Chains A and B, each alone.
Chain A
Amino acid sequence: MIAALNVLFSYKELLLNFTRKELKVKYKNSALGFFWSLLNPILMMLVFTFIFTVILPIKNLGGIDNFALFFLAGFLPWNFFSATVTGATVSIVGSGPLIKKVFFPRELLPISIGLANLVNLALELAVFFVFVMVTGLISDPKYLQFYKYVPYLLLLIPILFVFTIGVSLLVASLNVYLRDIQHLIGIFLMVTFYATPIIYPMSLVPEGYIKAYKANPVTAMIESFHTVLWRLSHPSISLMLYSAAAAVVIFILGYRVFLRLEPAFAEEV
């Protein structure tokens, strides 16, 4: 696997080109082009703010004072995870002609999808910071202090990235042999979404389920994001260690399975 990582590094140029292609193709032929990457999160935040303050004003749900902010703090990293895994699942089977005719490390395909989504996450976070500032200015001055905790993202995002790529490599390679994966993955993501405290806070989870929740590494990651972006505090060391360990384990597992299945991709896609 170390050797594979070395080879991967020597293909960094191609990786960047694939990533660039992902980003370019997404907004090709649209009048606003790359601007959509900013417009999407802006509109999303406006909609959520409207819903959770006007239509469904959630006050003091498990101690949440600004629900839109809470929701987005967990939803943005979730969105990265979910979009990457969904895209990666079909990245190998969707590139049949390329895989049958050209040699390059196949893992570049799912990883480039992760990188493209990482760019989107960065843009969304930038919009989110503006959003937090505005919220801070008009409602609660404590949000103006959010920048103090932003550096933690430099730890959290890489952990999330490694974890996501691990899952992506696993499902992308399995899907070559078992095409049900691409249908199952939607259900799996939906269940995980609701089983993770994203639209409700951890404090509302009944006592009996807490253990199961804590075992879920996605929960550990989302909780850390909540702490940094919404609670405005230092994330817990144990949660970070747990998610980092989970990320490494999943990555090694996913990459191993991928490398094991990779040799026959050209025959199976």
Chain B
Amino acid sequence: MSEPAVVRVKDVWKDFKVYREKNDSLKETLLRRRRATYESFWALQGVSFEIAKGATVGIIGENGSGKSSMLKIMAKILRPTKGSVEIDGKISALLELGAGFHPDLTGRENVYLNGSILGLTRAQVDERIDTIIAFSELQDFIEMPVKSYSSGMYVRLGFAVAINVDPDVLLVDEILAVGDESFQRKCLNKLYELKEQGKTIVIVSHALDQIRNICDEAIWLEHGVRRATGRAAHVVDSYLEEVNRQEEEKASEMEAIEHGSRWGSGEVKITGVRLLDEDEKVRRIFKTGEKLIVEMEYEAAQEIDRPVFGVAVHSRDGVHVTGTNSKFSGTVFDKIQGRGAVRYVVESLPLLKGTYVLSAVVYDYACLHAYDHHDRAYLLEVSSGELNDYGVFHIPATWDLR
């Protein structure tokens, strides 16, 4: 990090006026004889940091943490209430793609207009127009007014212009979440390319995986205050831990999802389902590879012979990830009566990052008659932890070069 700082943010404060009743009209101003009553909301409270030339930095934080305001201040769209931001070199801000497009103008005309909004001269656009059109993949539509474009086409053209502005400092807000899969990949590649050319890039995003992968460093803002700075992977991890901790506080007891359905004859009832970790503490979010215990509490009004308890896991988009029961596993519970609990123990959770829904069921030994069936009624959040795998499943495996 011997490179000089090109972005210097010094003690930046920003307040927004939150109007209780905003006087937008003259009548109200005159009647109330003052402008309006409002409360100040401090979006940023004394944030300072520096970014070295050529660094790629992510700004993370929950909604309302001030990260977008920070970016807008860096882009000179908002002015800080106090403090200063200095940026050396040409800035290009990708806050919204195609923000300056006019629906009645053609794609080509809009490239010129948008290019000059982003600071290009006509000659520079002339030079780049072929690259821009090729990047957007809109060759066949470029002479059509953009109002006839689909939203995907619109965004593609916007990105193509913005990314070809060739700034020294690029500010990016949450825009990698646009377009289809292949275009997203193309945009990411372009970002990597700019990074390799030594451009300074600042990204605000909720896509923590992207931050972890692209950024060298990350800044974590919390309620307008800088909470942590450092190596991206490290900051993202501590941010995730904090988020998980807070979520667990909120939901220490698992709640049934309202739309999960339930049926069964009721001789045995599942009265509660809890997810426990290796310390037998109730949790809601688990990392891939951790121990998971699904504990089902039951109440049998009468003696039940050889009940079969089962668990099913569905992904949020409906894929039946797994379904199993005590009988499949070769476990037979002889008889149950009264209250008790059954545990389904997973030594190492193979699920990858995502939200899953669990079903908890109890059937007769033939698995034909449902005593109690809670269908897709319990949430399980999985965070990837150290793993970067894609998909729903982690298959433990090794690589070997021969």
Contact = CB atoms under 8 A, between A and B. Distances in A.
A147 interface: no
B24 A98 contact: no
Contact of A102 (B77, B78, B112): B77
Interface in B58-81: 72, 75-79
Contacts of B145: 28
A266 B84 CA distance: 18
Contacts of A14: 116-117, 119
A101 B24 contact: no
B112 A101 contact: no
A168 to B, nearest CB: 20
A178 B24 CA distance: 5
Contacts of A104: 117
B78 A101 contact: no
Given A24-B109, A100-B77, A102-B99, A13 B116 contact: yes
**Among A13, A18, A98: residue with most chain B CB under 10 A:** A13
B77 A21 contact: no
Nearest to A264: B79
A17 interface: yes
A24 B145 CA distance: 12
A102 B26 contact: no
Interface string A90-130: 00000001111111100000000000000000000000000
A263 B73 CA distance: 11
Chain A interface size range: 20 to 34
A89 to B, nearest CB: 14
B99 A97 contact: yes
A204 interface: no
Interface in A211-251: none
Given A101-B96, A102-B99, A178-B25, A266 B105 contact: no
A13 B99 contact: no
Contacts of A178: 24-26, 29
Nearest to B16: A267
B126 to A, nearest CB: 12
Nearest to B91: A103
Interface string A177-188: 011100010000
B75 A103 contact: yes
A102 B173 CA distance: 12
Interface in B71-109: 72, 75-79, 91, 93, 95-96, 99-100, 102, 104-105, 109
Contacts of B119: 14
A23 B119 CA distance: 21
A104 B118 CA distance: 8
A180 B104 contact: no
B142 interface: no
Nearest to A18: B113
B24 A102 contact: no
B118 to A, nearest CB: 7
Interface in A145-171: none
A25 interface: yes
A97 B25 CA distance: 22
Contacts of A99: 77
B296 to A, nearest CB: 51
B100 A263 contact: no
A99 B78 CA distance: 10
B95 A102 contact: yes
Contacts of A21: 102, 105, 109, 113
A100 B75 CA distance: 11
Contact of A98 (B16, B76, B91, B117): B117
Contact of A25 (B26, B77, B104): B104
Contacts of A267: 16-17, 78
A103 B121 contact: no
A29 B104 contact: yes
Contacts of A179: 24-25
Contacts of A103: 75-77, 91, 93
Given A102-B77, A102-B93, A179-B24, A24 B118 contact: no
Nearest to A178: B26
21 contacts: A13-B116, A14-B116, A17-B112, A17-B113, A20-B113, A21-B102, A24-B104, A24-B109, A97-B96, A97-B99, A99-B77, A101-B93, A102-B99, A102-B117, A102-B118, A103-B77, A178-B24, A179-B25, A180-B25, A266-B78, A267-B17
Interface of A: 13-14, 17-18, 20-21, 24-25, 28-29, 97-104, 178-180, 184, 263-264, 266-267
Interface of B: 16-17, 24-27, 29, 72, 75-79, 91, 93, 95-96, 99-100, 102, 104-105, 109, 112-113, 116-119, 121-122, 145
